[in-house]
Amino acid sequence: MPWIGGQRLAVRRGMTGATGNLYLGLYEFMSMGLVLHFLRPGDLFLDAGANVGTYSVLASGICGARSLAIEADADTSRDLARNISINDLSQLVETHVVALGPSDGEAYFTIGRGPENQVVSKAGEGVRVVPQKTLDTLVGSAAPAMLKLDVEGYEEQVLIGASRVLRGPDLKVILLEGSSPYVLELMAAHAFTRAFYDPFTRLLQRTPNELSFSNGRWTLSNEFFVRDWDFVEQRLATAKPVTVLGRTI
């Protein structure tokens, strides 16, 4: 199916999240808008919990950044590889079929749940053993500019194995599916400040904006953390516009 910026998505019925992009333009509007407006050619984007690769397609196909797309489920990784292939992004996107965690080794990982597959504590029906790497191991000496981390409740463990990545001065923006007291302390220890973003106005702020609320309640999912605020604001303000469902942002 055609998507934004001349990109395409290979999707099928039941692909929760991925199919939402066809109806809504950007399924996770604030997060995806932040990716589109921040990244530049030559940047390295970490797509941790890549699923079928929608974020990597945005980062590399539209922004021209390099991406590390990390997905632990072998079946899902084939859909990820297909989306990279049909958009001719193999030179910009490097895929890894591994789970992320606090140490190198193996992990128990569910199967058959689509984007809700996750690391679990023990073997059982619908669970397979997969290789596990730390983010520091995968990234090596590279210097990422942005990290998107969506690993279904395993964020703390992944961040434990990402101390070198977090210290890297080039890392300016982190997108998390959710946080915890530990994660908030970790962000503060590395000089990251919670941020809220409106892709319509390109306004980055430290207090919740109108888009952060659903039915009058603050939506905690897809949280943003920014380091070097002035640098990030300048990037957002000067990004090339992108048309989403007929509207330019």
The whole-model pTM stands at: 0.93
- Give residue limits of the domains in the chain: 4-248
Q: Assign domain 4-248 to its CATH architecture.
A: 3-Layer(aba) Sandwich (3.40)
Which two structure tokens, joined as six digits, stand for 126?
């619908």
User: DSSP class of residue 236?
Assistant: H
Give the model's pLDDT for residue 119. Answer: 76
Strand partners, 105: 132
pLDDT in tens, 154-190: 899 999 999 999 999 999 999 998 889 999 999 999 9
pLDDT of residue 214: 61
Q: What is the H or E stretch that residue 191 is in? A: none
Predicted pLDDT at 3: 96
Alpha-carbon distance of 208 to 240, in angstroms, equals 25
The two structure tokens encoding residue 114: 């689509």
Residues of the chain with pLDDT under 70: 213-221
Q: What are the percentages of helix, strand and coil residues in the chain, rounded to 5? A: 35, 25, 45
Decide if 148 contacts 63 (C-beta within 8 A). Answer: no
What count of other Cβ atoms lies within 10 Å of the Cβ of residue 123? 9
- Cβ neighbours of residue 159 under 8 Å, at least 6 residues apart? 135, 149, 166, 183, 186
Matching residue, tokens 């689509």: 114
DSSP string of 6-51?
G-B----TT-TTTTHHHHHSSSSHHHHHHHHHH--TT-EEEEET-T
Amino acid at 211: L
